[in-house]
Amino acid sequence: MHTLEGSVRQGLRRARGELVGTILPGENVDLSKSRLQMLDDWTIAVVWCSGCVFEIMTSNGKTCGKTRFRTVGSRLCSHVAVSLLLASCSCLAESRHVGFSTTDEGRHELQVDGRPYYIKGAGGFGQDLVVLKRAGANSLRVWADSQLHESEERRVKFLDKAYEMGISVTLGIWLGHERHGFDYRDPDDIARQRRHVAEVVARYKDHPALLMWGLGNEMEWDTYPERILREVNHLAGAIKRIDGKHPVMTAIAGHEHERLKAAVTFFSSIDALGINAYATADSVDKDLRAAGWKKPFLITEFGADGYWQCWHTDWGVPLEPEFKVKAARYRTLYERIGSWRDRGCVGSYCFFWGTKQEVTPTWFSMFLKSGEQLPTAEAMANVWGGNRDDANRCPEIQKVSSPLYCNAIRAGATAAVEVRATDADGDDLRFEWLVVKDAYRGQSGGDPEPEDIAVPSAIPKDAANSRVELTAPPDEGPYRLFVFVRDGKGNASSANFPFYVTGE
């Protein structure tokens, strides 16, 4: 084995980062930046060079050390010094060993490097990690590695930042759904997906931010087809053969008895079961025990009552709960989940840390698209222990009043709408009104949705107060009125209600 490769393998095995070129004796070296090159399945360090000074850096930009080499043009004469410097890089972080153990009391416990770890997490993407850390969370869940960053090369940097901030990541590996066209009877589809899963695991398995693998999401859906559940279990086993340091979790939609029995029957290779639960989440623990699930579990999504669980208008669209109700629900559910810790629950991820269009842009979103935190994010920061006593708080919407509330109106007619809001910090409140075409069409599953189509003509251009005179759009159909209340300090609240426009 060559000296450089041997030193690198011995000194930096399983380290994070990438080696920019292996430099061998007598080999020409690009003095600006050599090509990216992997050394087997070990990723190593980054070698930058300028003139005759070589700089060894980790992938997160921390300099490990510098040295000078005698060069002839662009020919490197001292490869041994490079290998020694690479092997001495001590600031590269080792991947962590994550697993489950059973305590003396007989309960399951998640451990990271042998120490107990309880998940205080959020599911989401697109939001600054600094905000999540400041809120008091310790973990983030994403559903696919592409959600870390649009750019593949920036995804590792995102994980680097998470690790530096003490945020672990449950990294999702997205699996195809048959409702989207994936066919679990097609050998080619299966083979492609298996290759994809192996590639994702190989790419991130040694990163110290990784907590566990989130294999698929709600794969059982409504029919619990055996072919899908068996394939999920097969993939879990394949992941564990590649990576023996991190558990594999899969999340299911709800906790009906048949769903849980299917998990018990088919998920022998799954280390922990994730439950996505909303209005009925209070009974998850009892239902798991009744179904015979004996391994660890966690709540992978929880929050406001779902649109499929709420009251609907006569024309079939759901009424979104008020934010003060949603914030209270987040708090009580988090505390409820915490009471299951001695029965095998290893933590939870609230939903959705960021902005997500799902029926409305605010139903599950914990932040507005403009960046302000909403009362649900504030509620989680309170239970996570991140909010200081002197933290500026979100405005609270007390009531929205209008004869139009969940009612019908003729096209072109007008109706007054008024919102009553308070701010505990005495901040001046700003109001924004918006009417959109209601996009609800009975959808389910959280699939991507286009943004609502605004109807600017329905709201006066100068509307900026707590009261507005709405003019019904000219086209018949379902609509929704929103009001956004901001305090100018990074906090906000919102309310909305549906209405229906009839022909003139």
Tens digits of per-residue pLDDT, 229-269? 999 999 999 999 999 999 999 999 999 999 999 999 999 99
**Whether residue 289 is found in the same domain as residue 408:** no
Establish if 479 belongs to a structural domain.
Answer: yes
Contacts of 161 (CB under 8 A, 6+ apart): 60, 129
Q: How far apart are CA 459 and CA 473, in angstroms?
A: 10
pLDDT mean across residues, the chain: 84
Residue 276: strand pairing partners: 253, 301
Residue found by looking up tokens 């709540």 in the block: 299
Establish if 427 belongs to a structural domain.
Answer: yes
Q: Is 202 helix (H, G, I), strand (E, B) or coil?
A: helix
CATH of the domain at 240: 3.20.20.80
**Whether residue 103 is found in the same domain as residue 45:** no
More confident call, 168 vs 67: 168
**Whether residue 369 is found in the same domain as residue 402:** no
Q: How far apart are CA 19 and CA 30, in angstroms?
A: 14
**Whether residue 226 is found in the same domain as residue 363:** yes
Q: How far apart are CA 96 and CA 484, in angstroms?
A: 43
For the beta carbon of residue 89, count every other beta carbon within 10 angstroms: 21
**Whether residue 312 is found in the same domain as residue 242:** yes
- Sheet of 414-422: strand order equals 396-401, 414-422, 467-471
Condensed to tens digits (0 to 9), the pLDDT of residues 473-501 reads 999 999 999 999 999 999 999 999 999 99
**Whether residue 336 is found in the same domain as residue 201:** yes
Give whichever of 125-129, 303-307, 442-446 has the largest mean pLDDT. Answer: 303-307
End position of a domain, from candidates 41, 60, 87 = 87
214 token code pair: 């989130």
Structural domain count, the chain: 3
Helices vs. strands in the chain: H and E counts, helices first = 10, 23
Read off the pLDDT band of 33 (50, 70, 90): very low
Establish if 190 belongs to a structural domain.
Answer: yes
Establish if 391 belongs to a structural domain.
Answer: no
Contacts of 197 (CB under 8 A, 6+ apart): 173, 175, 215, 235, 238, 239
**Whether residue 325 is found in the same domain as residue 257:** yes
Give whichever of 5-14, 27-36, 220-229, 450-459 has the largest mean pLDDT. Answer: 450-459
Q: Where would I find the beta strands (DSSP E) of 411-502?
A: 414-422, 430-437, 467-471, 477-486, 492-502
- Give the dihedral sign, CA 382/387/391/392: negative
Q: Residue 406: its pLDDT value, please?
A: 98
Establish if 92 belongs to a structural domain.
Answer: no
Q: Is 145 helix (H, G, I), strand (E, B) or coil?
A: helix
**Whether residue 106 is found in the same domain as residue 187:** yes
End position of a domain, from candidates 50, 68, 87 = 87
Burial of 105 (0-12, 13-18, 19+ CB in 10 A): exposed
Condensed to tens digits (0 to 9), the pLDDT of residues 358-401 reads 999 999 999 999 999 999 999 999 999 997 778 999 999 999 99
Condensed to tens digits (0 to 9), the pLDDT of residues 409-433 reads 999 999 999 999 999 999 999 999 9
Q: How far apart are CA 248 and CA 213, in angstroms?
A: 5
Q: Is 261 helix (H, G, I), strand (E, B) or coil?
A: helix
**Whether residue 368 is found in the same domain as residue 413:** no
Per-residue pLDDT, averaged over 28-46, amounts to 33
Establish if 238 belongs to a structural domain.
Answer: yes
Q: Residue 272: its pLDDT value, please?
A: 98
Q: Residue 43: its pLDDT value, please?
A: 31
**Whether residue 59 is found in the same domain as residue 25:** yes
Q: How far apart are CA 92 and CA 67, in angstroms?
A: 18
Residue 468: strand pairing partners: 417
Domain span including residue 404: 396-502
Residue count of the chain, please give it. Answer: 504
Q: Residue 58: its pLDDT value, please?
A: 36
CATH of the domain at 423: 2.60.40.10
Of 92, 87, 93, nearest in space to 11 by CA:
87
pLDDT beyond 80 at 51: no
Largest CA distance in the chain: 86
End position of a domain, from candidates 87, 118, 134 = 87
Establish if 389 belongs to a structural domain.
Answer: no
Q: Residue 444: its pLDDT value, please?
A: 81
Establish if 93 belongs to a structural domain.
Answer: no
**Whether residue 178 is found in the same domain as residue 62:** no
Buried b (16+ CB within 10 A) or exposed e, 15-50: bbbbbbbbbeeeeebebeebeeeebeebbbbbbbbe
Condensed to tens digits (0 to 9), the pLDDT of residues 167-179 reads 999 999 999 999 8
Q: Residue 62: its pLDDT value, please?
A: 37
Q: Residue 61: its pLDDT value, please?
A: 37
pLDDT beyond 90 at 141: yes
Of 114, 143, 108, 111, nearest in space to 126 by CA:
143
Q: Residue 84: its pLDDT value, please?
A: 33
**Whether residue 74 is found in the same domain as residue 142:** no
Condensed to tens digits (0 to 9), the pLDDT of residues 86-140 reads 333 333 467 899 999 998 888 999 999 999 999 999 999 998 999 999 999 999 9
For the beta carbon of residue 403, count every other beta carbon within 10 angstroms: 10
More confident call, 64 vs 441: 441
